[in-house]
Amino acid sequence: MKPKVVVAEKIAQAGIESLEEEFDVVLAIGMEREALLPLLSDAVGLVVRSATDVDLEMLEAGPDLQVIGRAGIGVDNIDLDEATSRGILVVNAPNANTISAAEHTMALLLSQARNVAAADASLRSGAWERGRFQGVELHGKVLGVIGLGRIGTLVAQRALSFGMELRAYDPFVAEERVRRLGVEPVELEVLLSEADFITVHLPLTDETRGLLDADGLAQAKPGVRIVNTSRGGIIDEQALADAVKAGRVAGAALDVFAAEPMTESPLFDLPEVVVTPHLGASTTEAQDKAGTDVADAVAAALRGELVLSAVNLDLGRGVTDEVGRHLLLAEELGKVFMSAAGQMPEQLRISVEGRLAGEPVQPLGLAVTKGLVSAATDEPVSFVNAPTLAERWGLGLSFEMTEQSRDYVSLVRLSTTDENGEEVAVAGTITQKGMVLTEMFGHHFELPLGDHLLVARNDDVPGVIGRIGTFVGDLGINIADMVVGRPDQGTTAVMGLVLDRPIPPEELTRLIALDGIVTARSI
């Protein structure tokens, strides 16, 4: 039977059909909570939007859950701490509404600058007041962008097309990248003092809550106009209303509020303020993309892949394209290392060489850990619970980086020192052939990382290669590839084979007993 995924809220039909290709999809859309809970008893995946409260009770009802998908960005309705402690990956669709949110930001920016909402209400009431609603142009004005992530970047690009001058404050984005966008990076105080318009694109955290309070607004350029489509609570709404009434702030446009639904606010009585009920993602395209994106993320997670949109993974500064290319290699090297070492190391050195050494490599450590633990236990292992499981063995990781690599553009090497004081190491890289194992048992070679490997250390004497080939052939196992690493010194060599299927454990014992074979590992 296919693994079971429960879809508790409406998502795009294309997303459902995508999931149905690999999973048994149970539609529980609009179902009462009491009826939904029993459906989770054997489910491995759950897809929700914002209406389903995924709390402790629901998590306990789904003991086999591996992934929870939120069709949207916010995950306030999911108990992240409890899901993480249970090894459940929580994924969302962070890119689904980026264009819609950026376009809504521009809509609010223009509506506020040209008094669209107030003029519309006036005309509908029977008045024709052209002189009352004189606005301002965007062209030539300074737009301060607070938060230059995906949405902030799209807003900046669109504002440039209006002829605006751009300033941005985001301590987590490199100045070089900011300048490449045609934006001048500045500190927050400078942005506040120079911007004619301010747009906010930040997550709500302890650090950003109340960022624009009475003191912050007092630092702003007189006559500034402020837009917020990110999260309520970043701007103190009472302080903003007071600043508008006092004339220090010329106007504002808000799509989000500290408490939602919001039906009463001191801002609602001010004609200089444009408000909408959290419509940033409310487009047909964004809603459809949220469904398809989260379906793809859930499927990838259930295949054991690292989902970059996972909310409850610590990926450090994020995953660059170069690091992303090497994640599967790092995971596979973890599995190979466990085969070579035979046990979980107390301390593992991850050496990163070449171009990869200049990247944020923390995600590689997570991938290596998952590979190690996957090879050491029969328990289900995910990127979420791998670090917790590794702690049971007391695994410690350390990184060594060098931008010099003798033979490859980039190389990942795992090593430890065993109880005899000898180094145990494996290494690999990515070439035109794909992922290749480049070191094992102290020998260097290039063995493609196929699904089934046999790596043998043997006496460097005639006849051994033929002996191994004959043995494998007699088992009816085809050899897809083979390499030999001869010693620079000493008397043993290494032979690596890529096989169509694994050698049974009892046959591996017979192989090791062959004349000239020192040891062998089936990986």
Residues assigned a catalytic role: 231, 260, 278
C-alpha distances (whole Å) from 261 to each of 57, 155, 256, 264, 265 are: 25, 26, 9, 9, 11
Could you tell me where the DSSP H helices lie in 342-413? 362-376, 386-392
Q: Is 434 left (phi over 0), alpha (psi -120 to 50) or beta?
A: left
* Helix H or strand E segment including 341: helix 321-341
Q: Are 140 and 164 in contact (CB under 8 A)?
A: yes
Q: Are 336 and 438 in contact (CB under 8 A)?
A: no
Q: Are 448 and 384 in contact (CB under 8 A)?
A: no
Place of tokens 């295949």: 303
Question: Kind of pairing, strands 89-91 and 67-70?
Answer: parallel
Question: How many Cα atoms sit within 13 Å of 325 on the Cβ side?
Answer: 16
Length of the chain: 523
Long-range contacts of 34-42 (CB under 8 A, 24+ apart): 36/6, 36/8, 37/61, 39/6, 40/6, 40/65, 42/4
Specify the amino acid at residue 98: T
Residue 478 CB neighbour total at 10 angstroms: 11
Strands (DSSP E) found in 441-522:
443-448, 452-459, 479-485, 492-499, 517-522
C-alpha distances (whole Å) from 90 to each of 12, 87, 295, 383, 419 are: 19, 9, 12, 11, 39
Specify the amino acid at residue 444: H
In whole angstroms, give the CA distance from residue 273 to residue 257.
13
Q: Measuring CA to CA, which residue among 422, 437, 236, 283 is closest to residue 341?
A: 422
Name the phi and psi angles at 473, rounded to 5.
Answer: -65, -40
In whole angstroms, give the CA distance from residue 129 to residue 136.
16
Joined tokens for residue 362: 């923390």
DSSP state of 469: H
Kindly write down the DSSP assignment for every residue of 71-105, as one continuous string.
SSS--TTB-HHHHHHTT-EEE--TTTTHHHHHHHH
Give the neighbor-by-neighbor strand order of the sheet with 396-402. 396-402, 347-354, 410-417, 423-431, 434-440, 443-448
Instruction: Classify each residue of 152-170 as buried b or exposed e, where b means 16 or more C-beta atoms within 10 Å of its C-beta.
Output: bbbbbebbeeeebbbbbbb
